[in-house]
A and B are shown apart, each in its own frame.
Chain A
Amino acid sequence: MAPDSDDGGPGSSRELLPEVYDELRKLARARLARERQEQTLQPTALVHEAYLRVAGPGQRAHWDRRGHFFAAAALAMRRILVERARHYQRMKHGGGGQRVDLDSGIAGADPALTDLVAIDEALTRLERTDARKAKVVALRYFAGLSVEETAAALDISPATVKNEWKFARAWLYRALDPAGRAPADEP
């Protein structure tokens, strides 16, 4: 997993990570307790709901903390999803005996899942070359922030976010598939 490029100081996203992780976990449990008609949880929706709970109405204006929160949430979500994708990859190749529909249950369940590992690896490379673009991607993709929210979180202009996002996506797209077609994101 990529190192968090955050400085790790007080209030930083790295310091927030356990708290955010815990919040996401509690929230997922709460959702289930309510027995909503959901098979699975949509990561970005979960992140936003977690933020509203953590921040509370009075703290919405604390952009610093908000930025750190979402950076931590993006990191937590990325870890959760990539860990799961790796686990499923192992299961698909290993296992035996009482296996259960390996193909339909795993590959079938989430076509995009296997690509997460590749996206994670490419994003790690982008982090080394251009840390800010990698942050934009993490916030947009893993935390589901809009261009404006990403701009506020990183304290840069929305126009910059748009440009960074555009170039980073193109870079990642090629990194994932030199032939010019990303494996599972074909519409």
Chain B
Amino acid sequence: MTPPTGAAADSIFLALADLDPADRAALIADRCGPDAGLRAEVEALLATIEVPDAFLDPARVPSFDPDALDGPLKPGARLGEFLVLHALGSGGMGVVYAAQQDRPRRTVAIKVLRRGARRREIMKRFELEAELLGRLQHPGIAQVFAFHAGDRTAPAYLVMELVDGPPITEYAEAHGLPYMARAALAASVCDAIQHAHERGIVHRDLKPANVLIAGNGQPKLLDFGIARASGIDLQLSTIQTLHGQLVGTLAYMSPEQLRASPDEIDARSDVYALGILMYRLLCGRLPFDLSGVPVAEALRRVLEEAPTPLGLVDADLRGPLEQIVGRAMARDRERRYQSAAALAADLRAFVEGRTLSFSGDFRHAGRRQQAPRSSTATGVIAAAIAAAVLFAALAFYEHRRANDAAVQLDRALHGLSTRPP
């Protein structure tokens, strides 16, 4: 990390700053003497004195959330009846800690919500959701124990079951699971989702990072309903999505979510995300290549292009699995499985060697999806692009950091296909 030039040239260079340009030559001559190499070094430094305007631009000092003033919670800190053990991770919504609860004595995960814009609104929604989420009791769902609205002395936080395990995709890779086992695992994820759907709760943010596999091999879903409480899936037009969740989630978002149509988001949106999740679980990549593309182009691909059929990625996946996954991630929600339970049933039929619930040929459906786009499809794409543009404009207006954000989004999207999101 030291400058590439010698210390002598460096110090002469810095000393030149306080001189009139006319006097600089004299100082260089005086300090360098007969040393032509040193002189050349100093002159090279002067020649490259212009650096990009953005460098050290005070307007580009990273913004920070006010919690940074307090710093992260240190191990041993107390939050109500909880003793912070250590930090587990950090995300768009806040920092997650492992903590010890006094009574009942147990280890829990605490998600400390970031302060910031629309805090009151988000708190209100969280309070409403927390009670609902508290009622979700299923071995496949990380339980929400409590929600504490923040006050002057403490931040708002969500207390959840602590899940110790890797994301489903990493787990499957690490254990070298065969397709059958992966399909069976996906079926038990469906069971948990079905449980929530029956209680009127849609996850909305399913992706590998939210599906962990606990020590006993049981899938555990995290953050059920959090997407709705925080509104993250309906904010294509806000900076928050750009800076946070959208980036990691885009590949798993259903067309209706990408179009930000709240009325159309239902259980079938989760079925779509399950389809993408299974696709990735089975062949290790995402159906749409979003690497290094701008957000408008990423949206266009998801909304318009036909995904590479699973069987083309891996010939072993031809047949029932390809059909099941293709049906789950159909662009038109009417063509998807209408419930997670129906999807689970077909996955189990496949595992047990029974016939599927439908006799449709996925490849036929795939070809239909490639048919010339209808005016509706074009309108949808136009709307999505308009949303993206609006979002970029708002981002620029709100943060004056749209460039950073766009560059980052591109990088993040690039990362989608190269590492597990």
- Where the two chains meet, the residues of A that have a C-beta atom closer than 8 Å to any C-beta of B are 24-25, 28-29, 31-32, 35-44, 77, 80-81, 83-85, 87-88, 91, 94-113, 116, 118-119, 121-122, 125, 129-130, 133, 137, 140-142, 144-145, 160, 163-164, 166-176, 178, 180, 182, 184-187
Besides A98-B222, A112-B60, 16 new A-B residue pairs in contact (Cβ under 8 A), listed by A number: A25-B69, A40-B116, A44-B59, A88-B90, A91-B87, A95-B88, A97-B163, A104-B244, A104-B245, A105-B89, A170-B13, A170-B45, A173-B51, A173-B55, A174-B5, A185-B60
Main secondary structure of the interface of A (DSSP, over half): helix
A122 touches B1 (CB 8 A): yes
Residue B92 at the chain A interface, CB threshold 8 Å: yes
B91 touches A171 (CB 8 A): no
Residue B61 at the chain A interface, CB threshold 8 Å: yes
A36 to B13, CA, bound (A): 46
CB<8 Å pairs between A and B, sample of 9: A25-B70, A38-B116, A87-B71, A88-B90, A98-B96, A104-B412, A173-B55, A182-B51, A184-B404
- Where the two chains meet, the residues of B that have a C-beta atom closer than 8 Å to any C-beta of A are 1-5, 10-11, 13-14, 16-18, 45, 48-66, 68-72, 87-93, 95-96, 98, 109, 111, 115-120, 142, 152, 160, 162-165, 209, 212, 222-223, 239-240, 243-249, 398-399, 403-404, 407-409, 411-412, 415, 419, 421
For A119, the closest partner residue in chain B by CB is: B56
B87 touches A95 (CB 8 A): yes
Which residue of the partner chain, among A100, A142, A173, contacts B61 with CB atoms under 8 Å?
A142
A141 touches B212 (CB 8 A): no
Q: Which 9 A-B residue pairs are closest in the complex by CB-CB distance?
A: A100-B91, A105-B91, A99-B89, A104-B248, A40-B63, A167-B17, A28-B66, A101-B91, A173-B51
A41 to B45, CA, bound (A): 36
Q: Given A37-B118, A95-B87, A104-B91, do A170 and B51 touch, yes or no (CB 8 Å)? A: yes
Q: Please give the distance in Å from A180's CB to the nearest CB on chain B.
A: 7
Query: Which residues does chain A contribute within 8 Å of B109, judged by CB atoms?
Result: 98
A106 touches B62 (CB 8 A): no
